[in-house]
Structure 1
Amino acid sequence: MYGDGGWGGQQAHTGRQSPYGGQPQHYPEQSQQSQQPQYDNGGWGDGRQADYGQAQQHYQQQYGEQQQYGEQGQYDQQQYDQQQYDQQYGQQYDQQQYAQPQQQYDNNGWATGTHPNVPYTDPSDPYGQQAMAYGAQQPDYYGTPDAYPPPEPPARRRAEPEPGPEPEATPRTDWDPGPDQGEHAFFAGGDDDEDGDDEAGGRGGRGDRKGRGGKPKKRRSGCACLVVLLVFGGGLGGVGYFGYQFYKDRFGSAPDYAGDGTNTTVTIEIPKGAGGYEIGRRLKDAGVVKSVDAFVSAQEQNAKGKTIQAGAYLLKKEMSAASAVEMMLDPKSQNNVLVRPGERNLSVYKTIDEQLDLSSGTTRKVAEKKYESLGLPSWANDNEEIKDPLEGFLYPGTYPAAKGMKPETVLKEMVTQAAKKYGEYDLDAKAKALDLDSPLQVITVASLVQAEGKTPDDFRKMAEVVYNRLKSSNTETNQLLQFDSTFNYLKNESNINISESEINSNQDAYNTYTQKGLPPGPIGNPGDDALKAALKPTDDGWLYFVATDGVNKTEFAKTYAQFEKLKDKFNESSGS
């Protein structure tokens, strides 16, 4: 009902913003209406005309002031009790004076002649009509602590503040995100226990911060800068360090010791198939060389560097990489046990004792007591008359055996290798195809082939001799193998000049002159060539063989008459 016409009766300029907040209000020119404005629940148009004079009188009675309207519509507030008004009002409400009472309110403007149905609760409250006209259901804050100060006459008004930073508001009851909405108070220079701004000197003004608590505002801008500087400096330092390390690794020389090393020695085990980097890593871990790259570089620069074999090496600590390569190429530094194809277990046990600096017979006793825990295949040791359960399972090759190691460790490595190699063949099926009883007999045949043959070409012929003599149709030898190697095995000898009386009088299960068929188990450790020959023998009808030169040359025969000729040839070469 009452527009912000000022205190002089003139209507406020269009678009002017109130110094106490709010938005500029624009009121376009309206058409004149012949009717008086009507109230309809806070609006206009229900046919009930409001008494303008009664509303004015009610306003005067409620607030204890005399309102007069002159010819220019001036509002006289001389008799207004300022103190009572200040206590009741906390917020300035603009009074709007309408020049034409016939104007109607329509859709937030003046021109259409229609109006929305806006709820209205108290027609006698002119200050509530404006808010309610927009549909807001607001509580009455007049006379409460949340109210704004009342309007004042022009003579007592203060000048509008110059544009500048918004004054800090009084403490809010709803959520306040802090300075700059989202900026942490730490970086804004605030303090955790900082009091709110004083309001001395008028609303919206910034009072003296010392006036309320006498405690100056603390700021952390210096601390924040220091933290940021430390973090930034630490990051630069880390990047620089890792960059330097990367440069050294890529372009700098590899770290290396100088000289032939200290007096402290260590044993290094190099597995089969290990390359330069793997060897260098093991040496570095043991303290022999300073870096892997230094060893790899020295190995590449040495013409024989790539010939380093698997095994155990006795080396010194803190050696130069070049010295380590040279020492590993020296056979004296190697601490290995070499198992040769066809070598018997008794010979292997003796070598292990020597390498481990153990008393004679120690490794053999360990083999007899712990053979079941060394990883034999399930089909091994299937005959009670087997003299050594590990015979045939110490696979030929080079194995680490340095002082300080246990015999069972060395033996287990050999047995594991044998089981791996034998597992590559389907020995069960091969045994049946060759008319043998078990996979162990296949290994036994291979050990005989290895012991009697001299060359890989001989091995297949020798394997055929074995299988032909084992046949039940064999009437030449009556299923007797008659191999000197089996008799020498039980005697632990290697004698080719055995008297017939000695052989024929011995009834041991390993004596193939007196016992038909194969011996109970292998008589040595066959190699790859002998095993392959046992699995794939020739089919030429060979039944006899003689080492005609007594050493390296073996000749074969299919009939007994041919065998007699070969025997004479042997006697001539040996001078007997």
Structure 2
Amino acid sequence: MTGYGRGSGSEPWHPEDPLYGDQGWRGQQADAQQYYQQPQAQHQQQHQAPYGEQQQYQYQEYAGQNGQQYDGGWDSGQQTAMPYGTPPGPADPYGGQRPDLYGTPEAYPPPQPPGRRRAPEQRPAHDEPQQYQEPEEENHPFFSDGDDDRDEDRGPGSDEPAGTRRERRDQSKKSKKTKKRKSRNGVACLVVALVLVGGAGGVAYFGYQFWQSRFGEAPDFEGTGTAETVQVEIPQGAGGYEIAAILVKNGVVKSQGAFVSAQDKNPRGKLIQAGVYTLKKEMSAASAVDLMLQPSSRNSLVIPEGKRNSWVYAEIDKRLGVKSGTTATVAAKKAANLGLPEWATGHPEVKDPLEGFLFPASYPVAKGTKPEDVLKKMVARANAEYGKVDLEGKYKGLGLKNPWELLTVASLVQAEGKTDDDFRRMSEVVYNRLKPTNSETNQLLQFDSAFNYLQGESNIDISESEINSNQDPYNTYTQRGLTPGPISNPGLVALEAAMNPTKDGWMYFVATDGMNKTEFAKTHAEFLKLKDKFNDSKGRD
């Protein structure tokens, strides 16, 4: 026979199995009551019954359940005896010496009918499992109203019935629970309200900040500032917001927005240049813009295109308030440590290794700055600008030996020319005269500006006898080829012209008016006509 939840085997379930005879409530009640009413000897005898009798017992058990052989069930309190006794079991493998675990009713008490069941709190530990009870609500001081469950209205000697007191206590408990829930709900509402108020405040704050940044006026100081002054350095290429950030950091203006707005409203606001400015603390943005546009507030040195290093050194001395010649001495002694590129070093016979590297621009030069630091900034700017125009790559297609020679050509045309067209034609003159096939001048450049450089002058009226007798390497009337190095600091226009000369065959040029007008010639005959024109302008025969 196959039992429920078991597989088929050589013998049915043993009567000692706790699940034996699990046939519902009534079957369990009848079987357990009949089983515990039998004497001990009969119980042991039936345990040793043969296998056939067990089958008969199981059949009778099945018939007893399905036939419902009882009279009135639990409701009448009477039970019809089952037609069978305790089910016999298989032979005892221990020879009858094993103790009977079911000898007393207390070992396995029969189940109780529904009407006689005790309350869960009165049941023994081994009885049926208790029904689920809702846990009592925690009486936390935060949610409590300060009352407890004690019956304070009635003392121990009260003649009020116990049931009435119990009902009143239950009613009090319900009332207190309602109060607790209300108190808890009130606290929760308060927390939510605080969160909403805080969130609304945050939204309002950030909303105001957004509106202020987009539509409101930026914070600003009033007036022209305090008596306290400060020096502010504006770097090259700085825009409005970058300038404003520097001014805010130094306490000059109150906000970037105010300065940029004032700069936009001023017609000349975009003309603020790099340099060191002496400004006042806590200025209005409009006052700061006006003052920065005044040359008197600017402690910057502006190097024009074509200026020689000697002029730059003298200007630096003046700006720094140091003894004349101080910067020139520093340049001569520390030239190798000022940042020159490798291709600009090691050239013999140069008068100034920094010539051509004090790039024409505006530089902050304020008192207290070291000359060495000022020179480093200028050399660094020159390196950056020469890198932009690819000086190191362009010389190769022009018949030159290195970038140093290209920079020298640019310095020559910068010193001689007056316009962009002059620069390109003069560049062609240089390249044509450097050619080995030049039979017109035999590779002599014959530039007056080079002679003036070696003389430290700017005199355009030079006698032929003076020029022809001088054998200085910088004298292009007596020395073939280029000068040992640049003779000025060329600007970007002259550099571009040196890299892109005209191709018209120009070999000569003359400043026919002695100052601003330059004319060009391709042959020596044409040159002589231009020379006569120059002499006429000077009143010469």
Same fold (TM over 0.5): yes
- Map of 1:43 onto structure 2: 21
Equivalent residues in 2 for 1:513-552 (5 A)?
A: 513-552=477-516
Code of the residue aligned with 1:274 in structure 2: it is A
In the alignment, is the contact (CA less than 8 A) between 2:433 and 2:442 conserved in 1? yes
Share of identical aligned residues, percent?
58
Verify: 1:422 aligned to 2:386, yes or no: yes
Shift of 1:224: 9.3
Code of the residue aligned with 1:42 in structure 2: it is Y
Describe the shift of the 1:347–1:150 C-alpha distance in structure 2 as closer, same or farther (beyond 3 A): closer
Q: CA RMSD in A?
A: 4.5
Code of the residue aligned with 2:279 in structure 1: it is L
Verify: 1:55 aligned to 2:35, yes or no: yes
Deviations 1:13-32 (A, max 9, x none): xxxxxxxxxxxxxxxxxxxx
Shift of 1:448: 0.5
Shift of 1:310: 3.0
- Map of 1:359 onto structure 2: 323
Shift of 1:306: 2.6
5+ long unaligned stretches in structure 2: 1-13, 24-29, 42-69, 85-100, 113-121, 146-161, 170-182
In the alignment, is the contact (CA less than 8 A) between 2:254 and 2:282 conserved in 1? yes
Q: TM-score, normalised by structure 1?
A: 0.65
- Map of 2:243 onto structure 1: 279
For 1:393, which of 344, 350, 357 is the aligned residue? 357
Q: Which moved further from structure 2: 484-493 or 415-424?
A: 415-424
Shift of 1:462: 0.8
Distance in 1 between residues matched to 2:241 and 2:102, nearest whole Å? 94
Distance in 1 between residues matched to 2:390 and 2:214, nearest whole Å? 50
Describe the shift of the 1:407–1:568 C-alpha distance in structure 2 as closer, same or farther (beyond 3 A): same
In the alignment, is the contact (CA less than 8 A) between 1:122 and 1:128 conserved in 2? no
Describe the shift of the 1:53–1:392 C-alpha distance in structure 2 as closer, same or farther (beyond 3 A): closer
Distance in 1 between residues matched to 2:399 and 2:129, nearest whole Å? 122
- Map of 1:433 onto structure 2: 397
Q: What secondary structure, in the 3-state scheme, does the structure 2 residue paired with 1:379 have?
A: helix
Verify: 1:450 aligned to 2:450, yes or no: no
Verify: 1:468 aligned to 2:448, yes or no: no
- Map of 1:269 onto structure 2: 233
Code of the residue aligned with 2:514 in structure 1: it is G
Shift of 1:489: 1.0
Q: Which moved further from structure 2: 418-427 or 533-542?
A: 418-427
Shift of 1:60: 12
In the alignment, is the contact (CA less than 8 A) between 1:486 and 1:519 conserved in 2? yes
The aligned length equals: 437
Shift of 1:360: 1.9
In the alignment, is the contact (CA less than 8 A) between 2:470 and 2:478 conserved in 1? yes
In the alignment, is the contact (CA less than 8 A) between 1:266 and 1:286 conserved in 2? yes
Deviations 1:493-538 (A, max 9, x none): 1011223333233222212222221111100011122111111212
- Map of 2:452 onto structure 1: 488
Verify: 1:349 aligned to 2:327, yes or no: no
5+ long unaligned stretches in structure 1: 1-37, 62-69, 78-96, 104-120, 132-142, 152-164, 170-178, 191-200, 208-219
Deviations 1:73-119 (A, max 9, x none): 88999xxxxxxxxxxxxxxxxxxx8768489xxxxxxxxxxxxxxxx
- Map of 1:93 onto structure 2: none
Distance in 2 between residues matched to 1:276 and 1:432, nearest whole Å? 41
Structure number with the higher helix fraction is: 2
Code of the residue aligned with 1:57 in structure 2: it is Q
- Map of 2:338 onto structure 1: 374
Describe the shift of the 1:186–1:555 C-alpha distance in structure 2 as closer, same or farther (beyond 3 A): farther
Equivalent residues in 2 for 1:212-223 (5 A)?
A: none
In the alignment, is the contact (CA less than 8 A) between 2:33 and 2:110 conserved in 1? no
In the alignment, is the contact (CA less than 8 A) between 1:187 and 1:224 conserved in 2? no
Code of the residue aligned with 1:306 in structure 2: it is K
Describe the shift of the 1:129–1:363 C-alpha distance in structure 2 as closer, same or farther (beyond 3 A): farther
Deviations 1:370-402 (A, max 9, x none): 333433222112302222221111221222223
Verify: 1:309 aligned to 2:266, yes or no: no
Describe the shift of the 1:520–1:52 C-alpha distance in structure 2 as closer, same or farther (beyond 3 A): closer
Q: What secondary structure, in the 3-state scheme, does the structure 1 residue paired with 2:428 have?
A: helix
In the alignment, is the contact (CA less than 8 A) between 1:123 and 1:129 conserved in 2? no
Shift of 1:167: 6.7
Code of the residue aligned with 2:222 in structure 1: it is A
Q: What secondary structure, in the 3-state scheme, does the structure 2 residue paired with 1:556 have?
A: strand
